[in-house]
Amino acid sequence: MSKPITDTLPPHTVSTERIALVGNPNAGKSSLFNLLTGLNQKVGNYPGVTVDKKVGTLHLPSGRSLQVVDLPGTYSIFPRSSDELVVADQLLNLKEESFQAIVVVVDATNLERNLLLCTQLIDLGLPIVLVLNMADLVQKRKISLNTEVLRRELGNIPIVQMNARRGEGLNTLKNKLDEVIDAPLGQFYDPHSAAAEAVSEVKYQLGCQNYYQAYLLLHYGDSLTFLSPAEKKLLQNCKDQFNFNAEALQVEETTQRYQQIDQIVAAAISTPEIGSSAFTEKLDQYVTHKVFGYLIFFGLLLLIFQAIFAWAAAPMDFIDLMFGKLGTWISETLPEGPLTDLLAEGIVPGIGGIVIFIPQIAILFAFITVLEESGYMARVVFMMDKLMRKVGLNGRSVVPLISGLACAIPAIMATRGIDDWKDRLITIFVTPFMSCSARLPVYVILIGLVVPEKTYLGVFNLAGLVLMGLYLLGFFMAISSAWVMKKLIRAKSQGFLIMELPAYRWPRWGNVGVTVLEKSRAFVFEAGKIILAVSIILWVLASYGPGDAMQQAEEQIIQLAQQDEALAESLDTRIESARLQESYAGQFGKWIEPVIRPLGYDWKIGIALITSFAAREVFVGTIATLYSIGDTDSESTIKSRLRNEINPETGGPRYTPAVAFSLLVFYAFAMQCMSTLAIVKQETRSWRWPLLQLLYMTIAAYVAALLVYQLMS
C-alpha cells in the first residue's frame, strides 16, 4: 500500500456550528426548516449546479445559535439527480468541518420507505436526530407506534415526535439539539464483507471515518466535488483492481436494508388495515378522471393565467409609474449632464424593467406552491406525462409551458421541478416560443393596423382570430422544436417517472409566502444584474452617436422649427426622433437594413428591432419616438401615424399587410428578450444554451418572416 494522500489535504475550514435537515420529499422538511429558522434564511446556490441552497439560523434555548442547512429531498444516499448529488456531496465531505447534527425528517405514516435513507445515514456514523413528523396523522389513522422500540432498534438514536405543520414538538427538538448528539451505535449493512479489499484500501488511503463512507466514495467518487483529480483516479483504480461491481452491490444493499427495516417496523408499529388515506383515494377518482380531471386542470390553468394577466396589471402599472416619476424627478433635480441622463434614462428604467416582473413572478409561484403543497401537482404530472412524452417533454413541463403564456421568466424558473436534465433543458429551450404578455402590445398595434374589422358568424372577430392564430403558432413552434430536440440530444440515461403521489393536504400559507419571497429575491438579484447591464448598453447606444452627428441633427430641426409653426409645437419629440436616427442605435439600424430588407423592413424598423431586444414591448415605444408621436399611451395615434407612413420607394403605405404580418411572425418567434436570456443563463449555468437559443429563435423568426413577406407581397 502506498502512503495515504490525506496528509496533503487543506486544514479544516473553520465555520460556525452547522446542522443539516435531510429527508424524503413530502416528509415535511421545508415546513420544519421554516419553523426552525422563520425568515432568518438565505437562498443561494450550490457551486456549479442549479440547486437551491437554503441556509438559516436557529436560536436555541441556551442562547447558542446554529446554522441550519436544508438539503434537497432524497429517497436514498445514492444520487441520481443534481439535487440528490448535493446531499451526498455534503454528507460525505471529508474535508469540511462536519455537521454537529443531522436532523432526519421522516413521515411517520410511511416509515418503511422513509427509514431506508435513515439507516444509510446511521451506517455513515453521522450524529442523527430522528424527527417522526406527522404525529397527528399517526393518531388519526390509529397507528400505534412504539418509539422506545424504534430508538433501540435504530441504535439508540434520539427520536422526537412532531407535527411540523402546527409547530408541535418544536421545543423538544430544540432542547435535543442543545445537547451533544452522539454517533449512532447500530450498523445495518456491512460493506466490508461485500467488498473487503476495495473499501479497506479507500478507507486507509482517503482517511474515511468508516467502511460505509469509503464504500459510497467508491460508488460516487466521480461526481463528488470535494475530491481532487488524484483522489478520483485512486478510486477508479481501486474499482478496477478489486472488481467493484457497483450496481450489483447497490441492489444487494437495498434489499438487505429493507429486510431489516421490515423487522423493525413489525416490532415498533402496528397499522390497522384500512389502506392509506380513504379521502385521497376518493378524491383521486375525480382529480385524475379522464373528463373531470382535465376539466379541473384547465379550469385551474385559466384561473392562474387570468391572475397573472389581470391581477398583476395594477401593481405593474404602479411600478411603471413610480419608476417613470423617479426618472423625471432625477432629471429635474440633479444638475444636467451625462451622469444624470444615465441615471434617469438608463439605470432607473433598467431597474424598473426588473422590478416590474415581480408581481407576475409572485403570483405564479404562489399558485405553484399551493398546487405543490396540496399534492395536486403530482397528479398533473401523472395526467399529462403520456401526452408530453410524445414530443420529448415530460409531465412536469406542462406548468412551465402554460406559464410561458404570461411571461417566460417565472416559467423558466418553474422548470426546476423537472428532475431529468434533458427534459428540463428542452422545456427551458422551447418555453420562450409561447406567446408571452409582452408580445401582446406589438400584436395589438400591428393587427389593428392591417386586419380589417370583420365579424364572422356574429361572434368571431377577425382580429381576434388572427391573435389566436399567433398564440397557436407559438405553441406549435414550441412543441415541434421540442420534438426536434428530443431527436437531436442524446441523453446518458433514458428518462423515467417514478414518483410518489402524496396524500392531499391543506397548503401551509407560511410556506407559500416564504417561497414567493425567495423566488422574487432570486430573480431580482440573479437575472437582474444582467438585465441592468444590457439596459445601460442599449441606453448608451440610443443616446450617443458618432462625432457630432446627433448635435447637427438637433440644430437642423431647431432651425426648421423657426420657420414652421406646426413643427415647433412638437419640437421636443422631433428632436428626440432626429437624435435617435443619428445615434449608434440608428447607425446600427441603417447598417442592418440590407439584412432586413428582404423581410420588408426599413432602417427605422431596424432600430426598433434593436432596441426591443431589451423587451418586446419596447418596439411600440421606439416606433413612437421614431415617428415623433410623443405620447405612446394613445394607440390610435400610433396606429394612424403608422398608417400614414409612406414607403419612399413605392409611394404606397410603409405598413402594408405583408410588412405587418412579416413583423407579427417575427415577434412570435424571435427571442427579443434579454431578461429571458439572463434567466436561461442562470438556470443552465452556462452561456451556451441562451446563445444557442438566441441563434435558433432569431433564425426561425427570420426565415418565417421572410416567407410571409415574400409570399404576401
Partner 1 sequence: MKTLAKMRPGERRVIQQLKPSSVSIKLLEMGLLPGKTVRFNFSAPFGDPISVQVAGYQLSLRLDEADLIEVA
Contacts with partner 1 by CB under 8 A lie at 75-76, 78, 80, 109-110, 112-113, 116, 247, 250-251, 254-255, 258, 271, 275-276, 280-281, 284-285, 288-290, 293-294, 378, 382-383, 385-387, 493-494, 496-503
CB of 321 to partner 1, least distance (A): 46
In one-letter notation, the amino acid at residue 499 is M
Which string of DSSP letters, residue by residue, matches 160-204? Answer: EE-BTTTTBTHHHHHHHHHSPPPPP------HHHHSHHHHHHHHH
CB of 290 to partner 1, least distance (A): 4
CB of 478 to partner 1, least distance (A): 21
- For partner 1, the closer of residues 277 and 515 by Cβ is 277
Residue 306 phi/psi, 5-degree rounding, is -60, -45
- For partner 1, the closer of residues 330 and 497 by Cβ is 497
H or E segment to which residue 55 belongs: strand 52-59
Other CB atoms within 10 A of residue 314 CB: 10
Note whether 130 and 113 are within 8 A (CB).
no
- For partner 1, the closer of residues 293 and 690 by Cβ is 293
Name residue, grid cell 478489486.
242
CB of 136 to partner 1, least distance (A): 17
CB of 501 to partner 1, least distance (A): 4
3-class DSSP state for residue 548?
Answer: coil
**Exposed, middle or buried by CB within 10 Å (0-12, 13-18, 19+), for 504?**
middle
The angle subtended at Cα 26 by Cα 24 and Cα 27, nearest 5°, is: 60
Residue 545 phi/psi, 5-degree rounding, is -135, 170
Cα–Cα dist 674/680, whole Å: 10
- For partner 1, the closer of residues 64 and 390 by Cβ is 390
CB of 272 to partner 1, least distance (A): 12
Note whether 662 and 599 are within 8 A (CB).
yes
Could you tell me whether strands 18-23 and 65-70 are parallel, antiparallel, or unpaired per DSSP bridges?
parallel
- For partner 1, the closer of residues 24 and 662 by Cβ is 24
- For partner 1, the closer of residues 384 and 541 by Cβ is 384
CB of 283 to partner 1, least distance (A): 12
- For partner 1, the closer of residues 27 and 425 by Cβ is 27
- For partner 1, the closer of residues 46 and 78 by Cβ is 78
Note whether 503 and 276 are within 8 A (CB).
yes
Note whether 616 and 438 are within 8 A (CB).
yes
The angle subtended at Cα 431 by Cα 478 and Cα 448, nearest 5°, is: 75
Cα–Cα dist 542/561, whole Å: 23
CB of 462 to partner 1, least distance (A): 36
- For partner 1, the closer of residues 274 and 566 by Cβ is 274
H or E segment to which residue 473 belongs: helix 462-488
CB of 140 to partner 1, least distance (A): 15
3-class DSSP state for residue 102?
Answer: strand
CB of 280 to partner 1, least distance (A): 7
- For partner 1, the closer of residues 226 and 298 by Cβ is 298
Give me 532's grid cell. 441592468
CB of 51 to partner 1, least distance (A): 19
- For partner 1, the closer of residues 79 and 350 by Cβ is 79
Closest CA to 350 of 323, 369, 376: 323
Name residue, grid cell 447607425.
587
